[in-house]
């Protein structure tokens, strides 16, 4: 179990309770392509951190570097403030993007094998596997070959492989892809449960709605660089303060109000930024003089808007 609670040199950005995983200045090239470029972020213990970015943004490469599957061309991965070791990595539950199990081996046998490779005894691995499979209602399928299971069940076996060791951290590459809505819910519960143990949980996804609903923090990656990171509220309120207003008539005249910048205009509705508070008051007064004001409110962008903006 992670036991990084003692006061050390490390202080997380947003400390949950317990261990933390830090990525500092990570870089990696493939030939001329700089796939990951000076990426830094923290995965605090006890929180769910979402890792977001388009295809080819560098999420999988970063996760593989964290797991030691790819050599680092620059930077460092730190576990509880110290450079991560092979032993630390063995205690991390990892689910790769491309799912893989021995298709012809029985579910129980290969999970026990993976548990043993993680350093568990045969007996411990066995009971841990059974407990986790029970959770997924798969205990009675333990004696079957993986290839006989449905894809959804294979996915559950895969996540069992990552969770059964009671890991010190979770690094999951697209854990929700291929899951039906019910399975998404049980996966969500499971991730929350593990985060509640105080361990850092990092998972990648390109389903923004899911990430917004689920995550405590998120890291947005674009073309190999971190373009934004922080809590979801943080990110949504980080941009310039904007107001949305809907008038009784055409809103085109707003463009001419001094100190007001129109971000978006659509008939009677306008999205604006004000250079200073008095400008906003001037706008409101002018609007009331001209006619009805149906709506005037602070506009907090949805995560998807933030995402589009930072990755543009």
Partner 1 sequence: MRSTVWVTVARREIVTKLTDRTFLLSTFGLIGLLAVVLGVQAFMANRTETYTVVTSSAPAAQMAAQVELVAEATDDKVSVTVTRAADDAAATRALRADEASVWLHEGGDGWLLTGKADVPDGVETFAATAIREVTLGANAAAAGTSVEELVRGSALSTAVLEGDAEKAGVAQALGFALALLFYLASFTFGYALANSVVEEKASRIVEIIATKITTRELLAGKVLGNLVLAFGQMAIFVAVGLVGLTFTEYDRFIPAISGAVGWFTVFFVVGFGLLACLWAVAGALASRTEDVQSTSTPLTFLTTGVFFGALLATGTAKTVLSFVPPFSAVIMPVRVLEGSAPWWQALVALVILVVAAALVVQVAARLYQRSLLQTQGRLSLRQAWSTPD
Residues that bind partner 1 (CB under 8 A): 64, 67-71, 86, 89-90, 92, 94-96, 98-103, 105, 110, 113-114, 116-119, 161
d(CA 160, CA 158): 5
> In this complex, which beta carbon is closest to partner 1, that of residue 76 or of residue 189?
76
d(CA 254, CA 274): 11
Least Cβ distance, residue 117 to partner 1 (angstroms): 4
Least Cβ distance, residue 103 to partner 1 (angstroms): 6
Nearest Cα residue to 134 out of 116, 152, 108: 108
Least Cβ distance, residue 284 to partner 1 (angstroms): 58
Quick check: 62 and 39 in contact, CB under 8 A? yes
> In this complex, which beta carbon is closest to partner 1, that of residue 7 or of residue 33?
33
> In this complex, which beta carbon is closest to partner 1, that of residue 113 or of residue 296?
113
Least Cβ distance, residue 227 to partner 1 (angstroms): 26
d(CA 156, CA 164): 12
Helix (H) or strand (E) holding 194: helix 181-196
Taking CB atoms within 8 Å and a gap of at least 24, the contacts of 23-27 are 23/62, 23/66, 23/75, 23/76, 23/77, 23/78, 24/75, 24/76, 24/77, 24/78, 25/74, 25/75, 25/76, 26/62, 26/65, 26/72, 26/74, 26/75, 26/76, 26/77, 27/72, 27/73, 27/74, 27/75
Least Cβ distance, residue 201 to partner 1 (angstroms): 16
* Pair of tokens at residue 15: 């400390």
> In this complex, which beta carbon is closest to partner 1, that of residue 103 or of residue 252?
103
> In this complex, which beta carbon is closest to partner 1, that of residue 67 or of residue 284?
67
> In this complex, which beta carbon is closest to partner 1, that of residue 32 or of residue 266?
32
Least Cβ distance, residue 100 to partner 1 (angstroms): 3
């Amino acid at each position: 179990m992670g036991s990084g609670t003692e006061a050390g040199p490390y202080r997380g950005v947003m400390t949950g309770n317990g261990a933390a995983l830090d990525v500092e200045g990570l870089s990696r090239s493939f030939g001329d392509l700089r796939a990951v470029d000076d990426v830094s972020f923290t995965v605090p213990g006890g929180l769910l951190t979402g890792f977001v970015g388009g295809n080819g943004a560098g999420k999988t490469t970063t996760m593989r570097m964290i797991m030691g599957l790819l050599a680092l061309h620059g930077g460092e991965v730190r576990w509880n403030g110290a450079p991560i070791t092979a032993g630390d990595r063995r205690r991390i539950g990892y689910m790769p993007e491309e799912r893989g199990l021995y298709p012809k081996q029985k579910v129980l046998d290969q999970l026990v094998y993976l548990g043993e490779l993680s350093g568990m005894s045969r007996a411990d691995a066995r009971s841990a596997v059974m407990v986790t499979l029970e959770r997924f209602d798969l205990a009675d399928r333990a004696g079957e070959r993986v290839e006989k299971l449905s894809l959804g069940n294979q996915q559950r076996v895969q996540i069992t492989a990552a969770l059964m060791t009671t890991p010190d951290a979770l690094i999951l590459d697209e854990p929700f892809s291929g899951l039906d809505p019910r399975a998404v819910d049980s996966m969500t519960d499971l991730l929350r449960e593990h985060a509640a143990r105080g361990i850092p949980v990092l998972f990648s996804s390109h389903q923004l709605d899911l990430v917004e609903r689920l995550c405590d923090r998120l890291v947005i990656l674009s073309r190999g660089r971190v373009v934004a990171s922080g809590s979801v509220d943080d990110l949504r309120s980080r941009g310039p303060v904007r107001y949305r207003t809907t008038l009784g008539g055409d809103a085109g005249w707003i463009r001419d109000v001094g100190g007001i910048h129109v971000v978006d205009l659509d008939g009677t509705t306008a999205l604006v930024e004000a250079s200073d508070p008095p400008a906003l008051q001037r706008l409101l007064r002018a609007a009331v003089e001209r006619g009805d004001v149906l709506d005037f409110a602070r506009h907090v962008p949805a995560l998807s808007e933030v995402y589009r903006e930072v990755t543009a």
